[in-house]
Amino acid sequence: MVAVDQAVEDLVQHQNERFVDARLAQESMFLMNRFGSLASALTNGYLRDLDLKVRHYSVLSLASEEQPPTQRELSDFLVLDPSQVVALVDHLEGADLVRREPDPRDRRSKIIVPTDRGREVLLQAEAQVGAASDRLLSNLTEAEQAELQGLLRKLASR
C-alpha cells in the first residue's frame, strides 16, 4: 500500500544484530544521526505518492502557520541555504501548493503562503507523516513516545 524502500523497511523492521552492542551504537550522537536519516527516509517513502519529500512538507507546514514565514525565515529554521529554499519554493509553487506574497514591511522579502490546494494536500501529508512516525516509533510505548518527544523538544528550546 505504502511504497517504502525495501532497504528502509528492513532497517526499521529488523536491525542488524551484529553490532547493536558496539560502543558506537551506544553514543547518543550516533543514534540521533542514524534515526534522523532513518526518519526522513521512511517519511519520504510515505510521502512519495503526494510527490513530496520531508523538505517540501516542512515548507508547506510552516507556510500554513498563522504567521507565514519569509524565505529567509525558512532558510534559518530548516537550516537550508537560501538558494535551496528558492528551489524548494519554486517546486511547490509549480505544483500550485504555495504562493510568494510581498512582505508589506520589507519589499526585499517574500512571504510564503499556502494555496487552497496546498492546504488540502497538507492534510493528506500530515496523515502520511503521522503514519510514518507510528511506524518508526512502534516499539516504544505511548508513554515512551511522549517522553522522547518531550526530551527532543527540550533539546530544541533555549
Partner DNA sequence: CGAAACCGTTGAAAATGTCAACGATTAGGG
Partner DNA sequence: CCCTAATCGTTGACATTTTCAACGGTTTCG
- Taking the C-alpha atoms of residue 57 and residue 62, their distance in angstroms, rounded to an integer, is 9
Do 40 and 34 touch, CB atoms closer than 8 A? no
Segment interacting with DNA (CB under 7 A) among 19-27, 65-73, 131-139, 149-157: 65-73
> Nearer Cβ to DNA, position 37 or 138?
37
Q: Residue type at 120?
A: E
Buried b (16+ CB within 10 A) or exposed e, 95-130: bebbbbeeeeeeeebbbbbbbeebeebbeebeebbe
Site string for a second copy, 92-131 (x = CB under 8 A): -------------------------------------x--
Residue 52 binds: one of a second copy, DNA, none (C-beta under 5 to 8 A by kind) = none
| Interface with a second copy, residue 27, by CB under 8 A | yes
Task: Quote the cell numbers at residue 140.
Answer: 516504544
Residues at the interface with DNA (CB under 7 A): 37, 41, 53, 55, 70-72, 75, 80-86, 89-90, 100, 106-110
